Amino acid sequence: MSSIKTPQANTPPATKVHWFQITDEHCGQRIDNFLHTYLKGVPRSKIYNILRKGEVRVNKRRVKPIYRLALGDEVRIPPVKIQTKTIPQAKTSIIDRIENSILFEDEELMVINKPSGIAVHGGSGISLGLIETLRQSRPQQRFMELVHRLDRDTSGCIMIAKKRKILTELHAALREKHVQKTYHALVSGRWPKRKQLVNAPLEKNVLNSGERMVRVSPTGKVSKTRFKVLEPFQQATLIEASPITGRTHQIRVHCQYAGHSIIGDDKYGDSDVNSKMKMKGIKRLCLHAYELEFKLPNSGKQLSIRAPYDDALSRALQQLSSTDSVE
């Protein structure tokens, strides 16, 4: 039997049994999720199969997939064939861009001003996202996971957990609405100041092409967003959006539903408006995760972190201010 060790690598060799001793980093995690993390490339169906057969043992006993690991548990992982994927090396320019976008960092947490155009993780034809790039740039960091997500073309504040405990605690804070998210968006037309709340249920749909779309539907989930006008222009409005619920594409679809789609939105936007704005040099999705407000779980310190606009969005607003402003 291999000697007991603390798990540090993502993919243990598939040729022999491995035993891992659980530290506080994985304390409380479900065994199926633990295996999914450390057996990268192994389908979940295979993970549940080896659990069901008793090939995975905790303290030499069979466990169910819902078993939560405890400090000091010894986990037996059998030989498993792993389908490895070759992940390309991140470009130095991208690594530098992300590292220079860090807004806050301590031993447990990092908040980044994610650039527009960078996906938060690989998948759907994207081999390298924000989280994979961070892991490559900081190989000494044993744990690094997304706390929440942003669409690829949305810029702004995103949290990265550097310890599992903080990840779990921030997930709980998000569920209990203890994290306040504030977005800024440039939308088409004149948003009425009286329109301060959009309450419209949202439902996910998958098209025949495989594309995921969200629409307002009476059978959808309750979805609410607060809005506030920040700066009106002749043909557009800079607004503040604060999601009360956290549905996929919520702000984008609620803006569309209100009749003022976000400029540069190729999925839910107005193609004619987008074309006209491109002629003005506005070529990106004009949605920005501007601010996060929350308490650090360990210290209880209240944080308010703001992400400045990137050059493209700043130039767009400056141009509208000089040529399209409203008195």
- Structural domain 4-77, CATH architecture: Roll (3.10)
Alpha carbons 40 and 12: distance in angstroms, whole number: 9
pLDDT value of residue 10: 46
| Residue 262 contacts residue 285 (beta carbons within 8 Å) | yes
Q: 33-38 long-range CB contacts below 8 Å, 24 or more apart?
A: 34/69, 34/75, 35/77, 37/10, 38/7, 38/9, 38/10, 38/11, 38/12, 38/77
Alpha carbons 306 and 67: distance in angstroms, whole number: 39
pLDDT 10s per residue in the chain (327 long)?
A: 444 555 544 445 556 888 889 887 788 889 998 898 888 778 888 899 999 999 999 999 999 999 999 999 999 999 887 666 667 888 899 999 999 999 999 999 999 999 999 999 876 667 788 999 999 999 999 889 999 999 999 999 999 999 988 998 999 999 999 999 999 999 999 999 999 999 999 999 877 666 789 999 999 999 999 999 999 998 899 999 999 999 999 999 999 999 999 999 999 999 999 999 998 889 999 999 999 999 988 888 899 999 999 999 998 898 887 666 555
Supply 134's token pair. 């961070």
| Catalytic residue (choose from 151, 153, 265, 310) | 151
Phi first, then psi, for residue 141 (nearest 5°) are: -80, 110
Give me the residue spans of the domains in the chain: 4-77, 92-323
pLDDT value of residue 125: 67
Residue 303: Cβ within 10 Å count: 14
pLDDT value of residue 89: 86
92-323 has which CATH code? Answer: 3.30.2350.10
Residue 282: is it exposed, middle or buried by C-beta count within 10 angstroms (0-12/13-18/19+)? buried
* β-strand partners of 21: 74
Based on the residue annotation, tell me whether 151 is a catalytic residue of this protein.
yes
